[in-house]
Amino acid sequence: MSVPSGAIANAVAEGALPGRVWMYANYHCNIECAYCLTESGPRAARRELSTSAMLEVADQAAQLGFTDLGVTGGEIFLRREMPGLLVEMSQRLPVVALTNATLFGRRLLGEVEALAGQPVALQISLDRPDPHANDAMRAPENFAKVIAAIPALVERGVRVRIATTVESIADTELDRLCALHRRLGVPDEDHIIRPVVARGRAIDHHLGVIAAQSDLPAELTITVDGAFWSPFGPTVHQGLLDTDLLITRTTRPLSLPAQTLLRLVRGRPTGDDSTLNIR
Ligand code: SF4
């Protein structure tokens, strides 16, 4: 059964389909977090989505009626071309780009100044208000690097969001974390809190909540290996790509995986939304 042209735009406009299209830019990273969904690290396979593929997806997402783009990894700024690529993508649709914010030395800070005033937000991971607790799950010196990078980005006019990924957090600790992000120049509306999901490296550390397909919003996610139901789909465990949330190996034209996703969404049984707050 084919989906009529314009159906994607209508489904997005009606709220039946989330408007964001995600892309996995790469899978390698300079650190190895305990809960990493993709087992990313310095030795991980790169699985890079080429620059031309990312721009093609951005163009086609805009043409189909999607409303914004997400870029994730791995650590995306290990790709030297990323600042310019984000600017180019943002000329198609607004972009949120996820980063661990540990690579913002003078050179990269200078390059990302080009994002100031553009519809791009950098979403930076900061889990705890204390260095020891934060770094235990992420990497040595992670906290110090992140709290230096955030105000440096804000001063340059780059929009910053903060993502806190935790199994649980006490109210008093959360209060201190919120006070910290406000001091760093990030307002409350740009702070999200989400649970650890039991995929990837989190499984080996006995961390996280089990997230079924019904818990995950249907956000079209494009990787070099295919299109997935959600950015929580193309995860890696014990070196192997998970394919339980793979919807098609064909990623372009983007209309093909978009139509496949819409058919799956329309076939989804009605019921209460998940309360896991996974996004
Ligand atoms: S969670 Fe992010 S920063 Fe941490 S290892 Fe994975 S990709 Fe790198």
Supply the mean pLDDT for the chain.
95
Residue 36: Cβ-neighbour burial (10 angstroms; 0-12, 13-18, 19+): buried
Candidate from 26, 32, 36, 77 with most ligand 1 atoms within 8 A of CB, to mutate: 36
Query: 217-228 pLDDT, tens per residue?
Result: 999 999 999 999
Q: What is the pTM of this model?
A: 0.94
* Dihedral sign for Cα atoms in the order 67, 99, 276, 246: positive
What 8-state DSSP symbol labels residue 166?
E
Q: Is the CB of 97 under 6 A from ligand 1?
A: no
Neighbouring residues of 269: CB distance < 8 A, sequence distance ≥ 6: none
Among protein residues, the one whose CA lies closest to atom 6 of ligand 1:
36
Query: 226-250 pLDDT, tens per residue?
Result: 999 999 999 999 999 999 999 999 9
Q: Find out if CATH 3.90.209.20 is the number for domain 25-214+235-245.
A: no
How much is the pLDDT for 268? 76
Residues 247 and 227: their CA atoms lie apart, in Å, by 6
Among protein residues, the one whose CA lies closest to atom 1 of ligand 1:
36
Q: Is the CB of 32 under 6 A from ligand 1?
A: yes
Distance 33 CA to ligand 1 centre (A): 5
Half-sphere exposure of 176 (CA within 13 A, CB side): 10
Distance 122 CA to ligand 1 centre (A): 15
What 8-state DSSP symbol labels residue 23?
E
Strand partners, 22: 70, 221
Distance 101 CA to ligand 1 centre (A): 10
Query: 130-179 pLDDT, tens per residue?
Result: 999 999 999 999 999 999 999 999 999 999 999 999 999 999 999 999 99
Question: Does residue 74 sit in helix, strand or coil?
Answer: coil
Query: 64-88 pLDDT, tens per residue?
Result: 999 999 999 999 999 999 999 999 9
